[in-house]
Amino acid sequence: MKKLIIIALLSIGTLSLIAAEKPNGQALAQKCIGCHGADFGKKALNISKVVKGMKANEIAKELKGYKKGTFGGPMKAIMRGQVASYSDADIKAVSDYIASLK
């Protein structure tokens, strides 16, 4: 019985850690709104395309490309710096958040 209680407590602790580590897309997107607007309906620096209305997988693909330095015309250098610290999970979270905006 004692072993079952310990296992149960360890499992709960592990689940709490997993939940706590999930990136918050809305929080991650805060550094983007200065250029893209709060609803992502603005061309960044009047150069980029509008992000609002894009699908999450499209946003993620472009963000990963910016991070690798393989995507992005005139916004490449700026965006590479913006997403350099994002993990794949961060990119998914922020992409899902942006795509959810209507």
Q: What CATH number is attached to the domain comprising 78?
A: 1.10.760.10
Residue 102: predicted pLDDT:
84
The pLDDT assigned to 94 comes to 98
Q: Has residue 3 been placed in a domain?
A: no
Q: How far is Cα 25 from Cα 95, in angstroms, rounded to an integer? A: 7
- 17: in domain: no
pTM recorded for the entire structure: 0.77
Owning domain of residue 44: 24-100
1 lies in a domain? no
Residue in the block written with tokens 């610290």? 85
Between 65 and 15, the higher pLDDT residue: 65
Residue 16 maps to a domain: no
Q: What is the mean pLDDT of residues 29-42?
A: 96
In a domain, 47, yes or no: yes
User: Residue 26 has which token pair?
Assistant: 């809305």
* CA angle centred on 67, ends 61 and 69, rounded to 5°: 100
Residue 20, pLDDT score: 57
Q: How many CB atoms lie within 10 A of CB 71?
A: 16
Domain count, the chain: 1
Is the predicted pLDDT of residue 14 greater than 70, yes or no?
Answer: no
